[in-house]
Chain A
Amino acid sequence: MKRYFAVLLGILTAIGGFVDIGDLVTNAQVGARLGTSLVWVVVVGVVGICVFAEMSGRIAAVSHRATFDLVRERLGPRMGFLNLVGSMLVTLLTFIAEIGGVALALQLVSSVHHLLIVPFVAVAVWIVLWRARFSSIENVLGLMGLALIAFAVALWQLGPDWGELATGLSPAEKPDAESWATYAFFGVALFGAAMTPYEVFFFSSGGVEERWTEKDIGVMRANVFIGFPLGGILSVAIAACAATVFLPAGVTVETLGQVGLPVAIGLGKIGLAVVVLGFFAATFGAACETGLSTGYSLAQYFGFPWGKYVRPREAAGFHIILLVVTVTAAGVLLTGVDPIMVTEISVVFSAIALPLTYFPILVVANDPDYLGEHVNGRVANTLGVVYLVVIAVAALAAIPLMIVTSMGQG
């Protein structure tokens, strides 16, 4: 019974933890401008994150190696360092965006300007990273994040023309007002948001921290293969809500309040309250994950003790990094930069950093030195290679598309 409960809890937190500020903003923007014609990208992205999260989870369970250990072991110190710098920048950008997202969520409730809230959020995040137990962070915030299911309920209450939504799934149904370049740009952004590298850093490091063994592979797979796709359905619900409310009116999404507006229309005040709670939990949870990921990556690359299970005195370097990135993130936000813009940039740069992270995972997942009998099967390898190509294309296309479309404005 306890085991089933653990599986259920894992799946629920995976659903709640899947959605972060990048998914919230990008999906709502895409829904408002392009309807449901990019839903297929979310599906491709979710399958991709499942493939690579399962590989990295398996490696963590069998050989107790987290992702950045593998990056350095397989790419060597130079390429590994390039990767470290790239991933750190992207993860830091995401971290800034998440803290900004928490502040924006609290602004929706309190009407206090988010700049005044940012320092308090930063302190709260740091205290949680310093004091809270790993499992409580994951479980409490993951379960609260489930409040975002309100988007699915609101979509049903909004009573859209389901036939129209379904027809809109085809890329051919792209609204004529938008160019194909804009379509491709938002495709890459959605892909980056779904496959952000920090998800595997955090997932595999968490597995090492919680001392997964070969026996835990089953539970890990259930979390990945059930939790992530259900989280993906939440993403689609956000896009569909925006498509129903904003697309006909020709409104674009520029604030977090607008992301939640369809829920307020569909479910009223209570719905709005629930969804704001969801925003808070999803962004706060992701802020903890990205913050920890920066510490994990640096510590794993340079080889000093890390993690929440090691006493802070022994993992001093790790905790100093957490403090420094939190202060940096708060400092960047206090310059008055728009957190939504930081989010948009972070998802595009995620897409660029993807190949460097996922290639070493695929190589090591085939190495019997690490995995013994648990090396990749044929399905995982085929998908892995196909996704490597897709990821490379997305990474190469990201910058040109960003310039051509002026970050999707054109």
Chain B
Amino acid sequence: MVSLADRDGYDVGLHLLDRQIIGADDRLVGKVDDVELVLDDDGALVPTALLVGLPALLPRFGRRLGGGLARAHRLVREAAADQELPLVVDFDLVEDVSSEVRLSEPAPGLLHRMAHERAADPRRCRVGDLLGLPVRCAALPRRSKVLDLRMTGAPGRPGEHRVVALLVGPGRPGALFGYDRSSEPGPAVVAALIGWLHRHARVVDLGPAVDIDTDAGVVRIGAEASLAPLRG
């Protein structure tokens, strides 16, 4: 297993979302159903928490299906007052991201319910909301979307994790299956096919030229932004 320390950054959608969260006592905490990000004052996107539970998972099913499922879930769990809010694991506890997300503390008592004020905070957003946002950029095909968020971060050093770049291009988030990352990707036929399907995908570094507008639900990339091809 390759751990975070051996890797040059990681992709939120590929390496973090849907992975298992394991406590320091080797017990399963849950799955990374979504990741909470905060837009810093200096414009940086910083991950603050792993979100766990159906209230975090269901919205990721898309607007129509996800909305319907979330309503159904509220009906079933009406007894609980905080049913709409996911459980939270602070990102500072993340010790390593390999094929699992390992925490620095044991599992029991780790999860706590998200507070209402926190959920309403306009500076906070979820990775699930960002993935799939339409991208407006002159140099990219018109149906381009946000495919993934690229992060840097070192294990054991809280606060260092931050989003540094966006993967943008036509297609569906997650459909790269990690073939943009590995240096010697799996069956050559599959790798070639997926590479061809995503031939228009690009990596764009976050900067003044990139405007993530969560209210309007769109990402605008100015002409001065540098678009690099995917690796491999």
| Binding partners A and B | yes
Task: Give me the interface of A with B, judged by CB distance under 8 Å.
Answer: 62-65, 69, 72-81, 302-305, 362-363, 365-372, 375-376, 381-382, 384-385, 388
Q: Which of B18, B31, B65, B187 contacts A384 (CB 8 A)?
A: B187
Q: How far is the CA of A83 from the CA of B54 in the complex (A)?
A: 18
B62 interfacial contact with A, CB 8 Å: yes
B186 pairs with A73, CB closer than 8 A: no
Given A367-B186, A370-B1, A376-B186, A77-B60 contact (CB < 8 Å): yes
CB of A117, distance to nearest CB on chain B (Å): 35
Given A62-B1, A370-B99, verify A303-B189 contact (CB < 8 Å): no
Q: How far is A81 from B13 in the complex, measured between Cα atoms in Å?
A: 17
Check A372 against B1 for contact (C-beta < 8 Å): yes
State how many angstroms separate the Cβ of A358 from the closest Cβ of chain B.
12
B2 x A366 contact (CB < 8 A): no
| Contact partner, B2, options A73, A79, A368, Cβ 8 Å | A368
**B binding-site residues for A, Cβ under 8 Å:** 1-2, 7, 13, 15, 17-21, 27-28, 30-31, 33, 52, 54, 57, 60-62, 65, 98-100, 173-174, 177-178, 182, 185-190
The answer to whether B15 touches A369, judged by C-beta atoms less than 8 angstroms apart, is: yes
Complex Cα distance, B191 from A376, in Å, reads: 14
**A388: B residues at CB distance < 8 A:** 190
The count of A-to-B residue pairs whose CB atoms sit within 8 angstroms is: 90
Residues A369 and B186 in contact, CB atoms below 8 Å apart: no
Residue of B nearest to A71 (CB): B18
Min CB gap B203→A, angstroms: 19
Contact between A369 and B189 (Cβ–Cβ < 8 Å)?
no
Given contacts A74-B177, A370-B1, contact A363 B61 (CB under 8 A): no
B89 to chain A, nearest CB (A): 12
B174–A363 contact, CB under 8 A?
no
Give every chain B residue within 8 A of A303 (Cβ-Cβ): 20-21, 28, 30-31, 33, 52
Q: Are B18 and A366 in contact (CB under 8 A)?
A: no
Question: Given contacts A76-B18, A76-B173, are A369 and B99 in contact (CB under 8 A)?
Answer: yes
Indicate if the CB atoms of A63 and B187 lie closer than 8 Å.
no
Q: A368 vs B186: C-alpha distance in the bound complex, in angstroms?
A: 9
Q: Are B185 and A366 in contact (CB under 8 A)?
A: yes
CB distance from A75 to the nearest CB of B (A): 7
